[in-house]
Structure 1
Amino acid sequence: MTAGPYPPSMIGLSDVPVSNLAPPTGALVALAVAQFAAISWLGRRCEPALATDRWRRFLDDGNAPLMTVYLWHLPAMVLLVGAGLLLPDLILPDAGLHWWLIRPLWLANCALILVVLTRLWHRFETVRLPALGTRTGPATALAGTGLAAASIWYLWQHGATLNGAGSAGRIAAVLALGCSLVLLACGQPRTRRDAPVRGPELNVHPVRSGPAA
């Protein structure tokens, strides 16, 4: 991909300072519009058929692990790349016919690793954690949100590598981001004043109407 109003890289790389995601370029906007249009068109056409209980259960089961798949698809590819370093000529060849021929095998192995990781971690990621607090005060919410925004901005500008030059600032940003999440999660315990007020219980018995006089 070299022709068009977009950089050749979809994500930021060390040798490509500008990518399609930073900031979003015309190629990414066009892709988003095309995908949204296709999904909307298919949704209208398939909605009557998907309204059955069988399809609803199928979609529910398929949607349940999607967040786990999203979080672990990159680690799956990293594991495969790490294995490819042992056989670089076979698994990581230069661009050419060999590279294209092994793409199906590459994608199949990525999918297999992702299935294993999803089945391993999905059970832990769907556990309901106990609430740390019932509500968060304005000062805590403001501090947590501001700290999170500043940390994400710093990591976006300077990278997330925790070694090398400038690593102290990146480590501090990661710690600040973690602290911000704790601040946002830790609410104030509910006091008796916050408890809902319940009125006296009334014993109401149904009234049966007798025969008309």
Structure 2
Amino acid sequence: MARKRFHLSLYVSAGIISFIIFISGVFVGVLVNEIKARSIEEGSKDVSGMLKDFETQLLLLDLFPSNSTCQLYEVQLRRLSGELGILEEELKEYENSRRIDFPEFLKMKEEYNLLLIKYWIFSENMRTKCNSTYLTLLYFYNKECSICNDEGIILTYYKMKLREKLLVFAIDMDLNLTSTKALMESFGVEKAPTLVINSQKFDGFYDKEGLRELLCSFGYLEEIC
């Protein structure tokens, strides 16, 4: 009888310990996701502040155009690109987590896409006003596009090769953003994937060699041409 009571007590203790471990795991997972979400939120605020500052700088560039001013702004543009890259990676990590808060994630992704579009606008202004040689590339994709993931991988490859010479802006067509719809209408984007390089539209999928040839047609890319 004593042995049975001992076994029962052991099973109960094991069950309690397992329950505590499970609850702790859930709590830690929620806490980690909360930390990730707050980090993304703070990163978005930082980038938004940088974009506002950059907007003022572009107005100054209209008043005081010079090569030295353009060089300074291009350095800041690269810094902004780095901050957006960090924000993108944090969004991917949050999306891949098991306990994602989808409404909150959707809100963060919409904010990120708005920042991307603003960054593209400033990059295009800089490119034309300063005769910059970097390329701006809008990449339109959606979740129904079966080959968009492959296109994204190829774009990432060339982004790594060309660094600041190629600025890639991945725009999610599924987001209900007026600015995204306006961009699509302006360039006549109707399907995914679609690329817009230096404001020129190219429909359909480009494999690794096809994209290399397309990028090289714009010049200035001795790393791959």
Task: Give TM-score scaled by structure 1 length.
Answer: 0.25
Structure showing the higher helix proportion among its residues: 2
Structure showing the higher strand proportion among its residues: 2
Task: Give TM-score scaled by structure 2 length.
Answer: 0.24
More contact order relative to length (CA 8 Å, sep ≥ 6): 2
